[in-house]
Amino acid sequence: MDSNTPPKWKQSHSWAALDRANPNKRAAEKRVSDFHEIYSLFDEQTVREQATRCIQCPEASCVTGCPLHNRIPEWLALAAEGDFLGAAEISRSTSNMPEICSRVCPQERLCEGSCLLNSRTEPVCIGAIEKFINEYALSRGAGEVQPAAPNGLNVAVVGSGPGGMACADELAKLGYTVTIFESQEVPGGLLMNGIPAFKLEKSIVSRRIDLLKQRGVLFNLNTTVGRDVTFTDLLSKYNAVFLGFGAQKAKPLDVPGTGLEGVYQSLPFLVEKNVSLPLDAKPIEVEGKHVVVLGGGDTAMDCLRTAIRCGAMEATCVYRRDLANMPGSKKEYANALEEGAQFLFLTNPVALEANAAGQVSSVKCVKMELGEPDAGGRRKPRAVKGSEFSLRADVILVAYGFDPISFPPQSGFSKIQVNEWGGLVLDKYQMTNIPGVFGGGDAGRGPSLVVHAVRDGRIAAEGIDHYLGAKRG
């Protein structure tokens, strides 16, 4: 760049002269035959050009729109100048896994949805640029780390999902000896076994776990806390504990026929198709079958798209509200639609019907209409009289969300205070009612975003460090 030419990001009207670009996406007819990620990376020139569209707001709404308050304008400015390593370093300063969040965050509801350009044109493609600069840096070794000098204290982290990983990462930077306890054979939580690889390649998660190991974090796999390790053990052997075990108790489908063969919860289906691990349960076969997915969140979109890749003859989503009120990402909805998924909005299941062999054969549904708004402002759906119909279904996947798993009454964990739906009650430092025991992510807030779990883990690490400050000396 000519030294006399001002950086493009300082040209405050670049957004008006340059349209938003989106990463190339593999054609639907090709991508449905595999589980590889569907979006490619930008090239360097496109990143620099797209970063110039940022108008460098004095009070950047994209920062407040991001749960981590990522320093977005700062790294966009460096990206526009071609300093991708510097941009990635700033990105990493507020996020423990920016290469993951850039893939799975619903940017249209967060940073990009808050971009001031939305009132005039399309927002800056923040997610795609974040993905590029971090992949650029990681491929050049910028993320490699060394263990910090030990401070003599140790912390147990229960669960290796995004909250646990973020908490462990922050604590390890401060010299704590951190041990993560994970009940599965492979660490990563739902990042590894819940989110399909076409959204997040498993090698990306493995790379982040390897970086944690480089930092000195220890992993105890195939270890279930509460069975293999008691709560008392954790309190006696560790100076503090972080609970990040997620929320994996599936919300039930409460209609007649839920016990029929062919009716499954979404998570076992996704785990089975996601990770090559031996499972005790009988495989959930969808090839050549009519699959009906109940629910309208991101898990429902994942089930639809996974079923199509596994050879389903037809994959149909049944959701009781309309598209505007669907909680799932609109980008994921569009991808599912491109890949052949069908959608029945304003439709609610009222019963499951069986064939002579006792297998599910159809879903009896009723059409819905939106009534008056509820306490949260969403219009409450109500049934339309006389609108019942049956929809063929060989396999039904229930994707109604999850709640935290209740602690056994005889367990030491039962002393931890929970709210009415079983979530951990936490203070501003993410600490429970038991001193030294912290929590976060879905275990505290219920099913939510990866970026929320990362934020909770970071706040908890700060809280743990504050709590143990006197002992650390």
Instruction: Show the domains of the chain with their CATH numbers.
Output: 8-138 (1.10.1060.10), 154-248+403-472 (3.50.50.60), 252-400 (3.50.50.60)
d(CA 389, CA 381): 17
d(CA 406, CA 422): 6
Structure tokens at 198: 């076409």
Q: What is the mean pLDDT of residues 415-422?
A: 90
| pLDDT tens digits for range 261-291 | 999 999 999 998 887 655 566 889 999 999 9
Of 149, 37, 170, 155, nearest in space to 97 by CA:
170
The residue assigned the tokens 């309208």 is: 296
pLDDT of residue 371: 87
pLDDT of residue 276: 62
Residue 355 confidence (pLDDT) above 80: yes
- 8-state DSSP, 204: H
Type of residue found at 328: G
Tell me the three state secondary structure of residue 128: helix
| pLDDT tens digits for range 30-68 | 999 999 999 999 999 999 999 999 999 989 999 999 999
Residue 147 confidence (pLDDT) above 70: yes
Type of residue found at 45: Q
pLDDT of residue 400: 94
Element housing 424 (H / E): none
Tell me the three state secondary structure of residue 265: strand
Using CA atoms, how far residue 135 sits from 102, 207, 263, 447, in Å, is 10, 11, 40, 28
Average pLDDT of the residues of the chain = 92
d(CA 73, CA 386): 54
Q: What is the mean pLDDT of residues 443-451?
A: 91
